[in-house]
Amino acid sequence: MDPISDIFRTMHITAFGQHRLEATAPWGLIQAKQANERLPPSGKRISPSDVAHFAMLSRGNCWLSVEGISDPIPLTGGDCFLLDRDTSIVMRDSPRTRPRSTFEEVAARANGHVAHYGGGGTPTTIVCGSFSFDRASLRPITQLLPNFILIKSDQARTLALHSTVQALASEMAEQAPGSGVVATRLAEVLFIQILRAHIASEPERNKGWLRSVFDPQLGAALSAIHERVHAPWTVESLAEAAGMSRSAFAARFKELLGQTPLEYVTGWRMQKAIQLLEQRDKKLIDVARLVGYESDAAFSKAFKRVVGANTGEYIKRGLAGQRDPDRAESPSL
């Protein structure tokens, strides 16, 4: 079990709000930070910290301004990016064009999954959408990733990514039976492909969790944890899996991941336990043993310490969230 597959399968990526923006010059749109909770089509409330947005140019050119980056970035057909909800951006046909609307406003006026905006000049087509990680997360998945990932069309591992985006744009344009389901699945695949391309193109710049996963030594230990989360892991046994001394392993793990090896093990055990509890088809002792505890008492104590609620309280809280009557908001970028 590789850690990336395990984490994304457990936290369950859901794509929503996909649309195709047909922009004509002059045009300029802003995506501001989002502080409010949102509801994807599943109806389950998610924290804004568990939302990410994507966009890819399938035709034309534009300029992208990103909060924290001094100079505007020129984008051409095939370029794409992923960003978290805490990052403000502006997209426009020219650095001199003043943005006058938000992505949210334009998406709300979309006809089906196609939105039109601009002054009627040179056309640009952008495929946009959002991702939610709607399993309850002890550590929001967006904390594991950079707040902004840019993939240029000439980078490594982009051929499959381009094919996916073109298929996604086609599904949104044709509106054939089942196109909504197909578009959602394609967007979910797109997320993994963006991540792969980012890892392949800038391995030396990856930090934290991503860098650890692809570190030959720490990556071996992380793979062992995710493959056998129920094993009686110790710092010594994880160091052995990494082929390192105990002290060197513990220090490097803390340096890159910001927590001790056993804190990571316990946190991931609780994340897997949350997934099992939500399925509601297993007894508490069975859940405890599946994540490495011999008794439900020991498991419950660890669960309360890490999650901040006992298992019964957690399940009730989750069910209450699923019954929330609020409607879904209009999609943004």
Structure tokens given for 4: 């990336």
Identity of residue 211: R
**Mean pLDDT within 163-186:** 80
- Record the pTM: 0.72
Residue scoring higher pLDDT (106 or 195): 106
Helix (H) / strand (E) element for 278: namely: helix 261-279
Question: What CATH number should be reported for the domain holding residue 228?
Answer: 1.10.10.60
In a shared domain, residues 165 and 312 = no
In a shared domain, residues 64 and 197 = yes
Question: Tell me: the pLDDT tens digits for 95-151?
Answer: 999 999 998 899 888 887 889 999 999 999 998 888 877 555 555 555 667 788 899
Q: Which of 149, 173, 203 is the last residue of a domain?
A: 203
In a shared domain, residues 261 and 238 = yes
In this predicted structure, what is the pLDDT of residue 296? 92
Does a structural domain hold residue 311? yes
Question: What CATH number should be reported for the domain holding residue 100?
Answer: 2.60.120.10
> Which residues are bridge partners to 126 per DSSP?
21, 57
- The contacts of residue 85 (CB under 8 Å, 6+ apart) are 33, 34, 48, 49, 51, 52, 53, 142
Cα Rg of the chain, angstroms: 22
In a shared domain, residues 84 and 213 = no
- Residue 8 confidence (pLDDT) above 90: no
Mean pLDDT of the chain: 82
- Residue 326 confidence (pLDDT) above 50: no
- Residue 211 confidence (pLDDT) above 80: no
Whether 186 contacts 167, CB under 8 Å: yes
In this predicted structure, what is the pLDDT of residue 39? 42
Question: Tell me: the pLDDT tens digits for 270-316?
Answer: 989 988 988 888 999 999 999 999 999 999 999 999 988 899 888 77
In a shared domain, residues 101 and 30 = yes
Helix (H) / strand (E) element for 28: namely: strand 28-31
In a shared domain, residues 117 and 221 = no
Structure tokens given for 169: 């744009």
Q: Which of 161, 179, 203 is the last residue of a domain?
A: 203
Does a structural domain hold residue 333? no
Whether 222 contacts 256, CB under 8 Å: no
> Which residues are bridge partners to 247 per DSSP?
none
State residue 34 phi and psi, 5-degree precision.
-115, 125
Domain count, the chain: 2
Long-range Cβ contact pairs of 307-316 (< 8 A, separation 24 or more)? 307/138, 307/270, 307/274, 311/277, 311/284, 314/136, 314/274, 314/277, 315/277, 315/278, 315/280
Per-residue pLDDT band for 237 (boundaries 50, 70, 90) equals very high
- Residue 332 confidence (pLDDT) above 70: no
In this predicted structure, what is the pLDDT of residue 115? 92
In a shared domain, residues 245 and 128 = no
The length of the chain is 333
Could you tell me the residue range of the domain that residue 259 belongs to? 209-320
In a shared domain, residues 179 and 226 = no
In a shared domain, residues 69 and 163 = yes
In a shared domain, residues 183 and 289 = no
Identity of residue 290: L
In a shared domain, residues 196 and 103 = yes
Question: Tell me: the pLDDT tens digits for 244-253?
Answer: 999 999 999 9
Identity of residue 234: T
In this predicted structure, what is the pLDDT of residue 207? 58
First to last CA, the chain: 33
- Residue 321 confidence (pLDDT) above 60: no
Structure tokens given for 278: 């939500």
In a shared domain, residues 156 and 221 = no
| pLDDT-above-70 percentage for the chain | 83
Q: Which of 176, 203, 230 is the last residue of a domain?
A: 203
Does a structural domain hold residue 332? no
